[in-house]
Structure 1
Amino acid sequence: MSREHGRAYHHGDLRRAVLAAALDVIAAEGPAALSLRDLARRAGVSHAAPGHHFKDRTGLLTAVAAEGYNLFADALTDAPDLRERGVAYVRFAAAHPAHFQVMFQPDLHRADDPDLLAARARATRALRAGVAGLRPDSRGEDDRLAGVAAWSLAHGFATLLLSGNLADAMEGRDPEAAFRTIGALIYAPEKTTTVDGGAP
């Protein structure tokens, strides 16, 4: 490894550089196209260097998923209610398509990785907090199943959007606005508020 590559490694830049290169490859070609040797070439380091941080391809994909779940949890937590959590879900998928592809394919990850488990738990708590804001008659008798229903709607919409299957149905509509319209048909929050204090 060259002296300047050694500096990048010791300064902690290599991990970020390899992750960034991996996200580019996944977004363009999918997770199956990942190769640590190719990522090392893209990052300008020796072929063995990525192994210092990720050990192998599965370790790298696990790190991508953990980072994705943390970003995802942040996006959900900032939303005020379940419908807006659904909008945040769609926004996250559109902004982070590579993370989104990897996060929900558990066969790509190390299931016992502590960083991944912690990040996934954060995202789960954020989704369940949104469900807690629904009226009891909207939640039904099982909060967890209500959460699955909300998750299914947002995840299905986001997946169809990213795969191009909604192109005809959307007819140029803004995806977030479209999802808000769909969510209004299903989600019934406990309370509604408005910015200007007028009627909802």
Structure 2
Amino acid sequence: MTTEERREQLRGALIDAAETAIAEGGLSALKARDLARTVGCALGAIYTVFPDLDALILSVNLRTLHLFERTITAVRTATGGGGEAAPPDRGAAIEDLVRLAVTYLRFAIEHPARWRALFQHRMAEMPPAWFLREQVRLFRHIEAPLSVLRPDLDDEARALLARSLFSATHGMVSLGLDEKLMTLSEPVLRRQIETVVMAIGLGLTPENAPDHQEVRP
């Protein structure tokens, strides 16, 4: 085995171990010494394949983003959507938005520690471009139904609207699942999300926009 192959093997083992640690105990459970012990390497060996733990956490979070994308793609495909394709009409587009929001709730409930790690991880600098590109790619699943509801918007305005809709959904999920604030049962939280997202979807028509220029970034 070449040196590069050994590096890649160690890299994969460290991501696997970090992924397990985060999934079981959250970001606070991620300790360099524990990782080294788990994969059977020296502590310093970690930093021969990752510059720091931030880079390792980003690799785990990337896997989480990919897992979420597989989840929403499977849901959309099973209901006649599939990939990033736009729904056939306004009714289907609204249903798609609601389905995406509910899928996000289910993902947060089924993978709580991994989901929280996406938002709890703080870096001193902006995340690297490759990670930001993966985030943007996920928003295209929201942009697809929005292109049916607001065909008058250009790509930039539609992307901003997709982020706004995600922020609204994420806020409801975060508050609803926060045990220290206002924990809601899953059925109640789901109904709340369905009601709000459907109301937003029904209101998203060009004629209801106060001013097309106002929705542009």
TM-score relative to the length of structure 1: 0.66
Give the equivalent residue in structure 1 for 2:15.
19
Match of 2:45 among 49, 67, 72: 49
| Match runs of 1:167-186 below 5 Å | 167=183, 169-170=184-185, 173=187, 176=190, 179-186=193-200
Q: How much identity, in percent, do the aligned residues show? A: 29
Give the equivalent residue in structure 2 for 1:100.
115
Unpaired segments ≥5 residues, structure 1: 1-5, 191-200
Q: Deviations over 1:111-161 (max 9, x none)?
A: 353431331121122222232233569xxxx53453233112221132234
Q: Deviations over 1:26-56 (max 9, x none)?
A: 3454424432222111333332333233221
How many residues end up aligned between the 2 structures? Answer: 178
| 1:188 equivalent in alignment to 2:202 | yes
Name the CA shift for 1:163/1:129 in 2 (closer, same or farther; >3 Å): same
Match of 1:115 among 130, 134, 138: 130
Instruction: Measure the CA separation in 2 of the matches of 1:112 and 1:91.
Output: 26
Query: Could you tell me whether the CA contact under 8 Å between 2:101 and 2:169 is conserved in 1?
Result: yes
Counterpart of 1:160 in structure 2: which amino acid? L
Name the CA shift for 1:12/1:144 in 2 (closer, same or farther; >3 Å): closer
Match of 2:147 among 125, 132, 150: 132
Name the CA shift for 1:175/1:46 in 2 (closer, same or farther; >3 Å): farther
Superposition RMSD on alpha carbons, in Å?
3.6
Please list every run of at least 4 consecutive aligned residues from structure 1 whose deviation after the TM superposition is greater than 6 angstroms.
none
Name the CA shift for 1:148/1:182 in 2 (closer, same or farther; >3 Å): same
**Structure richer in helix, relative to its length:** 2
Bigger mean CA deviation after superposition, 11-20 or 37-46:
11-20
TM-score relative to the length of structure 2: 0.62
Query: Could you tell me whether the CA contact under 8 Å between 1:76 and 1:85 is conserved in 2?
Result: yes
Give the equivalent residue in structure 2 for 1:3.
none
Instruction: Measure the CA separation in 1 of the matches of 2:174 and 2:198.
Output: 20
Give the match's secondary structure for 2:130. helix
Q: CA deviation at 1:60?
A: 0.7
